[in-house]
Structures are given as C-alpha cells and as structure tokens.
Structure 1
Amino acid sequence: MANIFFLKTLIFTFIMISSNVSGQCNTHTPPCSLTCRCGTSSDVCLPVHVMGCGSLGCRPGWSGPTCQKQNIVYKATKVDSSSELSVSNSDNLAFDGDLTSVFRSAIEANPSVTVTATSSRHPIHTIQIYNGATDLNDLSGFEIYVSASSDFINSKLCYRDTTAIGKSEYVINCTQPLTGLYIKLLVPKTTSLAIREMEVYVCGEYWFGSECDRLCNCQSASTRCNGVTGACPYGCPDGRNGTDCYSECLAGRFGRQCQSICHCKNTASCDKVDGTCDDQGCAVGFKGDNCQRACSSGEFGEGCEGKCHCYPVNNCDKETGQCAGDCQAGFKGDNCQEDCEVGKYGRNCAGDCHCKNLTSCNKEHGRCDALGCEAGYTGSYCNRECSTGRFGEKCQYICHCKHAISCNHVNGTCDEGRCAAGYKGDNCQEVSGSTINVHTPEPNKNVQIYFRTNRRSLIWAKSPQNKETASIKGRPESNKASSTGLLAGVCVLAGISLVLMIYAVISTVKGRRWYIRFQQEIKSHYDSAQVPRRERSSEIYENTK
C-alpha cells in the first residue's frame, strides 16, 4: 500500500510540475489561483481542491480538510498579560501550539491575556480554548474582546461565557463577525487565569465555512467572500443567489441575484445564467436573444409579429393585442384586427360612407373617389348633410315644404307630404300653377317661368333641357282680361250698349299694363340667384298660345 501511495504521489507531483502550477490548487478554471497550505516544502496540492493535501498533512498553523483553516495567533510573539510571570510561566505558552504547556497567572482581580494576531485579513471564525486550570471553574464566565487598536477603546465583545461550571475545552464563535488585530481573554472575577492553549481561526483566501472547506462563489473569481458566511461583497455570479451564492435560481428566474424573469414559451424554464430559452422560443409579447425585450409600441403577440391598431397605438396589450380604448381609424373588433366593412370608416368603423353609387370610401378618413358624394351629402369627405333648404345630388335642389320647413336632405320629401303653395308631388317638386316660356338666344336653352294664378306671385324658374318650346299650363289674369276686351268688341258690333264697349277698352288697357308689369317681374326673377347664371340672357321673349 505504501508503494502504491508513493507512486500516486510521484505521478501527481510530476503532473503539477509539468503544468507549472506547483504550490497552487485547481479551482474553476486554470491557471489555479489558490495557495496551498500542505505540509511539504514544495506546497504541492492535489489537483482537485476538495481532496486537500491528503496524507501530506497541513503546514503548521493550518488545519481543516483542505488545510485552509488558519490559527492567526499560532506562535504569536506579542503577548501581554495582567500579571508579571516568571519565565517558566511565560504567557507565550498559551499560543505555542503545545497542549501540554500551560500559561498561568497569579490570583488577581480580572486577570487577562492579550495577543496580537499574525493576520487580520478575515473576520474571526472560531476561537478554541483549552482550560489549563486545576479547578475548571476558574475559567467560567470569561469574556473575549476584539479590537483594531491595542488600547481596546473601541473594542467589540466577541463572546461571554454564561455557564456556571467550567469545561476543559471551549469551541466558540463570535456573536458577530469581527475583524481585528488584537484579541483579549478576560475573566471578570478574582481568580487565577490558566489555559493550555488559545487558538483563533480564520479562513484562508477564497474559503469559508465551519472548517474553511468551501470555496467562495462570487461574481468575480478574484473576489474574497466573508470567511464565516461566504457572502460576496459584490454579489453572486449570474444564476446563483443565497447568502453563500451556492443556491441556484428557482424555476423561472435567472441572471444576477436571480432577479430577472424568464419569458419562454409555455412557461418553460430558461438558462439560469443568461435567460436564453430552448427551441420553443419566447413567450407572446417578448422578443430578443433571451426574450427580455417586450414588444415595442405597436407590436404584440408571438415574436411581436402582430401589428396593433389601437388608438392611441400604445394602448395595445403586448400579448393579445387587446386595446384599452378605441381602434384606429379603419379597424374594429376586440383587438382591432378587423378591417371596416364596405360602407364604414373611421375609429371603430363608426363612420358611414356617403359615396355616389354606394361605392366604398377610404377606411380611415371616409373620402370618396372621383364619383363624389351620394345624394344629400357634400364636403371633401361627404360627411356633411345638405344645408337647410337644399337636397339631392350635390345639394343642388331647393326644398318646397309648407311653412318653409326643411325637407329630407336626400330626396326632398316634406313632413307628412305638406308642400308649399303652388307645388305638389312626392317631394313637392311639381308646380301646381301656370307657366310661360321665356326663350334665350341660345338654341335648346329655353327658360320656363312658373307662377300662381293669383297675379304677380312668381315661385321659381328652371330651364328644361333639350326642349325648344314648353307648353303653357294656364294663362295669367292679364290674358283673361284681354279676352274679355275682345268679347266686348264683338258685343259692340252686335249693337250692345256703349257701356260695354267702354268697359272693354278699359279692361284691355288694364290687362295690357298688368302684362307689361308681369314681363318685368319675369325679367327680374329670371336674373335672380334662382336661375343658373349660364341660363340667363339679356333678352326675354314671351310665347303664349
């Protein structure tokens, strides 16, 4: 067996020397950065740190499974006690590493011993005291203080013994992690202080735990952790958390201190370090290499490939596309993904198109194409009804309702079919009185004047297209008066009284004067705004039958 061990050690030593890592231990990645504390002159450690030094043992002042537990008062030279001791009772005997030698003070009040540590790199981990008194109770009630200065003005209490019966050996931990160069053991009573050995332990660089056998697991491999708790001053590596940074992130978490949330499809777990998802990809509403980028404004759904149509656009749910408010102009539906149907436009498709021949309008703003607006509507977007008193295509027709009530803006119908005097029909556009034709110099551009039978009450004028003449539906009263005058003349020739002849003359003159006035009124009405300008003429001709 000895030969086998020697062979293994020889092979290991050759490997370490060949790798140029003599005196160092293998950690996360080569080259090694941990100092060996093995009990050989070459300080060669086994390549796997958890195996420690094997049978080589630890160097003096170091212990533990990996030889990383250091007694920082081992072989201390700076020791002070409360009593003047003889050489045989030197206070250094309490720190020489020999459990057979005893340091003993004289019987006195509050005897104490103070030692200056060889290092103050790490917080004190463990203090071990071996009682050297003949009566073990002499040490009961002792106190330990740690200070950064020798005067102990700002010292901190590490431990106070509360047992009534003394023990032969004490293994204690400070109530709080303390770092200091000066350690004092005090017995607050009148007694003799006697101890065989006092050992104060800290962990070596990058190690922690009760036996200093656990490596620090900090964000940076070169960062030292707390030698007692393993806590890292700058946090844990990505994917780890906990006081000692050895706990893996829970499912659904990753990254620094496990603060980031996975966003993988079907709630799958992501990589604990960088958050990348497997082949399933990102959850809906997220994108990017590690699915940490939420969909941008205006995007939603799996891979953020959906396009939002909300108003405003940032009111879109990143997962479903559901809108918190209205849809954009031209869209409708629960998540505003449906186009407006034919004849609708605007936000939530609430607007009605009013285009000629029922053609569809622009889905966003309702503008019609070159055909223009349907009857009863006007404006650039055909969204305004004809103004009061107008109706029909391009709002070019005038209402003729009783009491000047406005008609239907589309077809001109009046309420209960009540037309103004002189008009009739479904939309009160037919004249119920008489007409007279007035010709313009242009062919096929005759103007027909309509009037009521009660004299001089003209209603409106229009030009019948493609007609050379227009029939007269009646005669004005002036014409009737002229007929009466002719009849009276016949009566004169028949020998009727002179009175009738005089009446005929008067009636003829009166009727002719009225007819002249009637012509003037026709001329005035013809020149008014009711007759289109292109149909007006400087001459008027009357045509009666």
Structure 2
Amino acid sequence: MMAKVVNSFGLFPLILYQWLGMSLSLNLEDPNVCSHWESYSVTVQESYAHPFDQIYYTSCTDILNWFKCTRHRISYRNAYRRGERTMYRRKSQCCPGFYESKEMCVPHCADKCVHGRCIAPNTCQCEPGWGGPNCSSACDVDHWGPHCSSRCQCKNGALCNPITGACHCAAGFKSWRCEERCGQGTYGNDCQQKCQCQNGATCDHVTGECRCPPGYTGAFCEDLCPPGKHGPQCEERCPCQNGGVCHHVTGECSCPAGWMGTVCGQPCPEGRYGKNCTQECQCHNGGTCDTATGQCHCSPGYNGER
C-alpha cells in the first residue's frame, strides 16, 4: 500500500505561507525581478499498512487436535511514521546587478554617481554639465550636456554653458553663436556700449577705442592733426614752405598770399599778387605791386595809390 500524507489540509497553509513569504516582498511585475523554483524538505506524518502474522483455526481431519488446525495469514493494520517530503516553491529575488528597495529592484552602481543617477548596473546617467564614469568630471570648455556629449558651437572665444550649451559672447561679439561683431556704433559686452568717436571715426568692437580717419587725432578723433602734420594717424610731415599750410587730410599746401606752387616755393610772377597769385597788379608808370597785398611801390617821380 502506498504511503499517504496525514493532515494534508494542515500542511497546505504552511506551504502557501512560505511561498507567499518569498514572493510578496517584491513586485513580481518589476522587470528586474528574477524568479526560480527551489526544492526544500518538510517533515510529515504518514500512515502505512503495517503487516503482521495473524493466527486462526480451521476445521481439519487432525484427530489429535480435536479436528482443529492452526492456520497463518498476513494481515495489515494502520501504523504511523515520520518522513521527509520534497516540496517546491518559487523564489523571487532581484536580478544580478540590482538590489531591493521599497518592494522594487533598483540598479546598483559600485562607484556612486556624484552628479547623476544610477540607471543600470554600474551605469550612471549624468546631469547636464557633468561627465565621466561616475559623473564627477565637469565638462571642458568645448562640450556641454549630459555626459558632456554635445559639442559647443560658440565662436570667437565665447564660453559655452555646460548645462544648456548657450553661448556667452566675449566682448565685441553677438548673435546665437557669437559669430557676429558688434554693429556700427556699438562695442563691448553684449554690444551695449555706445561709441563716442567723432568725425567719421570707427571704434574697436571690443574696447571702443577710436580709429581716426586721416587728418584727425585725439581720444575721440575730435581734433585736427597738429600744424606740420597730416594724413593717417597724423604721421605725415607737411612739405609746405614760406608759411604754407597743408591740408590735414591730403597734405595739399594752401599757400599764403604772394606765393604759389605745390609746396608754396614760388613767389608770384611780376604783375600778379594775392592768394594763389590770382590778382592782377593795378600799378602804373613802372610802379610794382607787393606780391602779398598788391600795394603799389611807385617808381621815382610818381606817387599816388596807383
């Protein structure tokens, strides 16, 4: 006769409790929960048919025993014994690389994510502006964003925001990538400063320094070149003679009355006077006129204005 479990209804709640105890602490719908079946032994009390020799008497022809004969047969009766029974239960636990936290299996990073979070076993997701295996390294000047994976697009020495990638322009530049110089009449940080230059001068887009056109000088190009100088940055020497004045831009000589020529080196010819010798002398009877004023110098024997 096969053995059977005694008090099986009393054993089932214990098994169910043990199975639930292994499972209810984790959310089985969590994809990071791994399950497997394991065996374990329980002690049970089981009944079995215990054989024994049963003696009985039957009628027979044995006169010596008063026609009664002894007979034997094997009979069975219920007996009880303790035994071991192998049971199976489902065991749930966090998959390798994960650990249990609040009924969930969360990834484990051996090296703590300094500026980020652990999203997979030993894998950090860095905050914008940080990189490296554990998010402890700040982005260099040429990169930005999570894991510093985006390259900065800034131009002309602009600084790149390590979190957003936005460009912070250096003085003298503007636009999204700082590729444009400040517009006419502006300079400096964010091109907010107004140029103070005069007489058509342009200012440096970074410092605001005035670049004077030829013929002008001064901090704001407000002054003409000093006497004797002309041209770009007032570096050219004037060639004019006899009191001639050169143009502050071109260097062209403006001759005083009585003189003419490119550098005012020629006196007015006879009979001419004044600025550029354009006036005609009005003196008579051999009188000569002053080349500057036109005043007559009479010859002997004559007088009068002319």
**Larger RCO, structures 1/2 (Cα 8 Å, 6+ apart):** 2
Whether these two folds match at TM > 0.5 is no
TM-score by length of 1: 0.24
Higher helix share: 1
